[in-house]
Amino acid sequence: MLKHPSRGTPKPGLTSLADPALNQETPPHLLDQPITPTPLFFVRNNGSLPAVRHEEAEDWVLEVTGRVARPLTLSLRELRARFPQVELTAVLECAGNGRSGFAPPVPGLAWGHGAVGCARWTGVRLADVLAAAGVAADAAYVGHESPDHALGAPGQPALSRGLPIAKALAPETLLAFGMNGAPLDPLHGFPLRVVAPGFPGAAWQKWLRRILVLDREHDGAKMTGLDYRMPRRPVQPGETPDPAIFEVITDMPVKCLITEPAADFSASGPVSVAGFAWSGAVPVERVEVSADGGANWQRAELEPGEGRWAWRRFHALLDLPGRGEVELMARAMDVAGKTQPLEPAWNPRGYLNNAVHRIRGRAV
């Protein structure tokens, strides 16, 4: 097999997207576990894969600069030694997950449903690091920089995103060096990445080298224009919207995925339907399933899950309406009463598709 060292080696078993950078998603039935094993975890790269040798990892240097009293230069070794270690389980979902479901189609990677996973992350609190640096009173945002570059343009950063200062200081926001009990995988940001539970995947900067504390929103690569932004009011296909009405996505909507049965199932008698539900800042309240096109919904059992930011397993036994083609549907609802629509809310870049997940099969 041909290897592309600057792009990374694809993971076997995942679905690769047509793109110069390495982008792979997980077929939903392979997400049927509370913790997504790293070999099955989706990959989203905007550019090259930085090559970091394992023996160099502890010497990896993180710089904290900008609106701080004491700029810091910390090796990974010092980061571990100076700050308490934290582990949390959190869902990571790309804001573009589900983009292929928009009609008319939108530009961008045509993700199906599998640009999502749930992992255990180990690291230190970004808030602790920022406290050591002494954040200025006018700090409004942090900007993140990494060495990956746009493919074919070595001087151009692939992605430099950031976080509003409140999220940077929130207890769940980590600088992580571990994933699922092992050092981060190179494809997932080895040796250091941001973990920002509830925020879109784009905010989870990989291969983190530099944190800039800013007095205004960060303007790094893919922070501006329409990238990872949603319009404040609905925009119609074909309309040329004013970029001023777009704002950075800072929350993920309530959503669930059916991971059992797999697509094209055939079942006789009641079928066991299971999967996972998650959301952003507003917790999940319930999940319902339907086998008759949404005419009737049955409440599923919902397990607690591994803490506030993990996804929660749901399961139900559903009677099928008759013989022949059948479509199973699942929808989650959050504690504020928001639920998943039957059709996605179209937007120019195809973000935040949380339409009801459907699995087609046959009752025999």
Ligand X SMILES: Nc1nc2c(c(=O)[nH]1)N[C@H]1C(S)=C(S)[C@@H](COP(=O)(O)O)O[C@H]1N2
Dihedral of CA atoms 122, 125, 126, 127 in degrees, nearest 10, equals: 170
| Residue of minimal Cβ distance to Mo ion | 94
State the binding partner of 159 from Mo ion, ligand X, none, CB within 5 to 8 A by kind. ligand X
- Contact predicate 168/142, CB 8 Å: yes
Rounded CA-CA distance 114/119 in Å is: 14
Q: According to CB under 6 A, which one of 46, 48, 250, 340 is a site residue for ligand X?
A: 46
Kindly tell me which of 132 and 226 has the beta carbon lying closer to Mo ion: 226
Instruction: Report DSSP state, residue 168.
Output: H
Is residue 322 packed enough to be buried (19+ CB in 10 Å), middle (13-18) or exposed (0-12)?
Answer: exposed
Residues in contact with Mo ion, counted by CB under 5 A, come to a total of 4
Rounded CA-CA distance 86/180 in Å is: 13
State the binding partner of 158 from ligand X, Mo ion, none, CB within 5 to 8 A by kind. ligand X
Closest-CA residue to 91 (of 222, 251, 244) = 251
Q: According to CB under 6 A, which one of 26, 146, 250, 340 is a site residue for ligand X?
A: 146
Q: Would you count residue 193 as binding Mo ion (CB under 5 A)?
A: no
Least Å distance between CB 158 and Mo ion?
Answer: 12
State the binding partner of 46 from ligand X, Mo ion, none, CB within 5 to 8 A by kind. ligand X
Per CB under 6 A, which of residues 160..189 are in contact with ligand X? Answer: 188
Q: Would you count residue 201 as binding ligand X (CB under 6 A)?
A: yes
Q: According to CB under 6 A, which one of 148, 172, 227, 288 is a site residue for ligand X?
A: 148
CA atoms within 13 A on the CB side of 105: 7
Kindly tell me which of 42 and 314 has the beta carbon lying closer to ligand X: 42
Rounded CA-CA distance 191/175 in Å is: 10
Least Å distance between CB 54 and ligand X?
Answer: 18
Q: Would you count residue 202 as binding Mo ion (CB under 5 A)?
A: yes
Rounded CA-CA distance 228/98 in Å is: 14
Which residues are at the interface with ligand X (CB under 6 A)? 41-47, 92, 94, 146, 148, 158-159, 188, 201-202, 204-207
